[in-house]
Amino acid sequence: MSTAVRNSDLWFRNFAPAPGAPVRLACLPHAGGSASFYVPMARGLSPSIDVICAQYPGRQDRRHEPFLATIGELADELAEALLPWCDRPVAMFGHSMGSTLSYEVTRRLEARSDVTLVHLFASGRRAPSVPANDHVHERDDEGLLAELKRMSGTMSRILGDEEIMRMALPAIRADYTAAETYVHDGGPVRCPITVFTGDNDTRTSLDAARRWREHTTGAFDFHVFPGGHFFVAEQSPAILKLIRDKIANS
């Protein structure tokens, strides 16, 4: 097995393989999230779309690996690890921090002649060019836990287990650091962008989400759903339908 394929297997999980699907969708999690967040999406889109889900270092089966400090480092590694999966057209989906990462990975892959990027779905995140004024990563453990509970960013059964939450805090803090210190310095992508956002998301205003329009020379679509920052889980049927429709028309 080549180094590239081994690296790809380390970074991506294929929970519901769809070998006959014409398009592959790479899903990148939110800060503190893991590949398993996208299991429902993978199952919901198979067999028409082959979904692969990123697993960042420092969590679950990669919990003993060192964290990566910046969005740029994460995007470099993800883009390289994604190459063996690019034997068919690829779309990107990210939620929250994963949206920024998806944009950066798309920029890197569009620079190559051997990869076809058909769509970028950005969920629950302000546009990359909108400056951040967040300092969650600087809070102590109690402050970080309070922010997670405020956003309902983890399933309630996990939030109720203080020990599990505290074990996950180093990975969560590392991701918040990468996301909150990110500075946009690139041009637009060529592929179409579709943005999903919640109408009660305290982390992302509608105006900040609409500014994703500035980041593509292709088509742009914008959808507002009821809910807070993690509306994506609550509005799954409608979001999956939109993804299927957009990819089918790519």
Query: Are 17 and 50 in contact, with CB atoms under 8 Å apart?
Result: yes
Could you tell me which residues come within 8 angstroms of residue 49 by beta carbon, excluding any fewer than 6 positions away?
18, 21, 23, 24, 25, 91, 243, 244, 247
Q: Are strands 50-54 and 24-28 parallel, antiparallel or unpaired?
A: parallel
Active-site residue flag, 96 = yes
Dist CA 69 CA 1 (whole Å):
29
157 CB-contact burial (10 Å; exposed 0-12 / middle 13-18 / buried 19+): exposed
Best CA proximity match to 28, nearest among 5, 48, 51 = 51
Annotated catalytic residue within 8, 34, 96, 102: 96
Known catalytic residues?
Answer: 96
